[in-house]
Amino acid sequence: MEYSTFGRHVAIDTWGVDFKKLNSAEFLQRHMVEAAEACGATVLSVQSQQFEPQGATVLVLLSESHISIHTYPERGFAALDCYTCGETVDPELAIEYMVNILQPEKVYARKLIRGVGEMEVVESDITKVKQNA
């Protein structure tokens, strides 16, 4: 059986997010796992770190690759990304799930098409959804 190297990698910066949401590794971990499940990904493991005096990082390792978040609650900022291999799991669904949970004031997102030659950078549907909200 030959496997495809095709993948999609969505990177997003969110601004204007509530401090409490961004400062709870436990809250973020729960919702990141739900986001992975919402897009049909298979969760293999989860690592999280709560920082002092504030901030958190969560990494959800997927069979299809990963979803991660790193937060700066004092700035209302979170950087998220989700990379999935193949065509059956859409990383934008996981990121959209997290945008709905975080409810940022501003969203900046890009999608990379990977594994088919030179990487292609395209506008993510997440940006379009947030602008129309």
CA distances from 28 to 21, 124, 133 (A): 7, 22, 23
Q: Cβ distance 102 to 78 under 8 Å? A: yes
Q: How far is CA 47 from the centre of its chain?
A: 14
Q: Looking at this protein, which amino acid is placed at residue 51? A: F
4 catalytic residue (yes or no): no
**How many Cα atoms sit within 13 Å of 29 on the Cβ side?**
15
The residue annotated as part of the active site, out of 39, 65, 82, 124, is 65
Alpha-carbon distance of 124 to 111, in angstroms, equals 5
Q: Would you put residue 55 in left (φ > 0), alpha (ψ -120 to 50) or beta? A: left
The one catalytic residue in 39, 70, 82, 124 is 70
Q: From the candidates 9, 31, 39, 85, which is the catalytic residue?
A: 85
Active-site residue, 70 included: yes
Is 85 catalytic? The answer is yes
Kindly list the catalytic residues: 65, 70, 85
